[in-house]
Amino acid sequence: MDQDMWSSLLKNVTCSECSSNSMQVITKSSFGLSNNLELTCGACGHSYGSTFSSNRSSLSKKFDVNNKFVRVFCRLVEGMLLLRHSR
Ligand SMILES: [Zn+2]
């Protein structure tokens, strides 16, 4: 994840707990291509909550970004196999 992007967005955001301008977004964990992101204060460590970078399917609970990646990968393989057999 590009930390410079977050620093630019959060440089003027003040922590309500300690009044510093040290807000940061950290990656708590990763599940394939989906990350669990948390907004915290770099000075006092106060957490403002976390969220995932991708939605989940309501039925399977799998992350949408991972399902899309698998579908695209399967299409690429199908395309490569079609090209190979058309020679
Ligand atoms: Zn703070």
The per-residue pLDDT for range 19-48, each reduced to its tens digit, is 999 999 999 999 999 999 999 999 999 999
Alpha-carbon torsion (46, 3, 27, 64), positive or negative: positive
Residues around the ion ligand 1 (C-beta < 5 A)? 15, 17-18, 41, 43-44, 46
For tokens 């403002």, what's the residue?
A: 48
> Which pLDDT score, from 0 to 100, does residue 3 have?
72
Q: From the CA of 40, how far away is ligand 1's center (Å)?
A: 8
Q: Which two tokens stand for residue 80?
A: 């490569």
The per-residue pLDDT for range 60-77, each reduced to its tens digit, is 899 999 999 999 999 999
Contact present, 13 and 28 (Cβ < 8 Å):
no
